[in-house]
Amino acid sequence: MEPADELRLAIIGLGKIARDRHLGAIAGIPGLRLVATADPRSSLTGVPAFPSLEALLASGTGFDAVALCTPSQIRARLAAGALRAGKHVLLEKPPGATVAEIAPLLELARRKGRSLHASWHSRHAPAVEPARSMLASRRIRAVRIEWMEDVRRWHPGQDWIWEPGGLGVFDPGINALSILTRILPQPVFLTGADLLFPGNRSAPIAADLRFTDAHGLDGSAAFDWRPQGPENWTIRVDTEEGSLTIEGGGRRLLEGERLLLEEPKAEYDAIYRHFAALARSGECDVDLAPLVHVADAFLLGRRMLVEDFA
């Protein structure tokens, strides 16, 4: 793909996240064009629609890349099919249902000379890079994460998210972990977790994590899908020089009580600009650190039963 070329995109999976975030970002960036969708139950007026990726590939429709917005449980199979067909691949978060299934995709992408991008939209929030710069030279003492939202608002009727591989409350919680693994100067690792499962579901509705680093960091995270009031997406980092707090999922940055930054988020615009640059260069960008922490939580986590979810 030459720098001046148009990147022709197909969206695979035309659900809530595709409609809420991907479509607007694609439409607003010069050099990107949506040329097809693939979904067995949904379509867009004026855009060629197919019931599956396989049907799209068989149609002969010209396109360069796919954005996989399907449930995570089927994403690896679809990514492999697209890469074998010579397409660049953008993976919504989480990149897959398991950690190990991503390595073969990365090997396939490199063998085909195609780009594979495991996107973490929250890393593109406006407070993230300033926080990363400020923390680079500070001695960090503690981290406290609170990530609370109402599952009925953000995932209405999405049964797949409660199935194995759907992650449950870690679907939003992994956003916090993607920020954490970007802003801290030292890697962290989990030391324990409590996972709260509704009696009628196969994925947790809440989770409490404990983590540390090589220097004895005191870290904790609380994820919960049960609150029905305003969302609380907050990361507080206590250092020897004072505290930094990321609020609103990355919209605001405070040092102590002083507001340093407050900006609207345009995360998916940034994702697609980055993906287009990767496609031009044929490079890959796949960081699995947030997914590794989720996998570790399931390895270490104590399972606790709570009331059924209805």
- Check whether 294 has a pLDDT greater than 50: yes
Q: At what angle do helices 102-112 and 75-84 cross, to 10 degrees?
A: 10
Q: pLDDT tens digit string along 120-151? A: 999 999 999 999 999 999 999 999 999 999 99
Strand partners, 24: none
Average pLDDT in the 140-168 region? Answer: 95
Average pLDDT in the 85-103 region? Answer: 97
- Check whether 99 has a pLDDT greater than 90: yes
pTM summary value? 0.95
- Contacts (Cβ under 8 Å, ≥6 apart) of 187: 181, 213, 289
- Give the model's pLDDT for residue 2: 42
Residue 110: inside a domain, yes or no? Answer: yes
- CA angle 240/123/98 to nearest 5° reads 110
Exposure string for 152-190, b = 16+ CB within 10 A, e = fewer: eebbeebeebbbebbbbbbbbbbbbbbbbbbbbeeebeb
Average pLDDT in the 242-249 region? Answer: 97
220 with 181: CB under 8 angstroms? no
Going by pLDDT thresholds of 50, 70 and 90, the confidence category of residue 3 is very low
Our measurement of the distance from residue 207's CA atom to the centroid of its chain's CA atoms, rounded to an integer in Å, reads 18
Reply yes or no on whether 93 is catalytic: yes
Q: Are residues 208 and 232 in the same domain?
A: yes
Q: Which domain holds residue 231?
A: 123-264+295-306
Residue 232: inside a domain, yes or no? Answer: yes
Nearest-angstrom CA–CA distance, 270 and 29: 10
Where residue 254 sits, what CATH number does that domain have? 3.30.360.10
Q: Are residues 101 and 52 in the same domain?
A: yes
- Give the model's pLDDT for residue 1: 43
Counting residues of the chain whose pLDDT is more than 70, the rounded percentage is 99
Q: Which tokens in the block code for residue 252?
A: 């605001």
Q: Are residues 158 and 301 in the same domain?
A: yes
Residue 153: inside a domain, yes or no? Answer: yes
- Give the model's pLDDT for residue 5: 78
Strand partners, 192: 210
Going by pLDDT thresholds of 50, 70 and 90, the confidence category of residue 105 is very high
- Contacts (Cβ under 8 Å, ≥6 apart) of 53: 12, 38, 66, 78, 81, 82
Q: Which tokens in the block code for residue 63?
A: 């396109």
Which of the residues 16, 87, 93, 265 is marked catalytic? 93
- Check whether 203 has a pLDDT greater than 50: yes
203 with 167: CB under 8 angstroms? yes
Nearest-angstrom CA–CA distance, 182 and 79: 25
Where residue 88 sits, what CATH number does that domain have? 3.40.50.720
Residue 255: inside a domain, yes or no? Answer: yes
Q: Are residues 250 and 190 in the same domain?
A: yes
**How many domains does one find in the chain?**
2
- Check whether 4 has a pLDDT greater than 60: no
Q: Are residues 101 and 173 in the same domain?
A: no
Q: pLDDT tens digit string along 21-37? A: 999 999 999 999 999 99
Nearest-angstrom CA–CA distance, 50 and 136: 47
Average pLDDT in the 280-300 region? Answer: 97
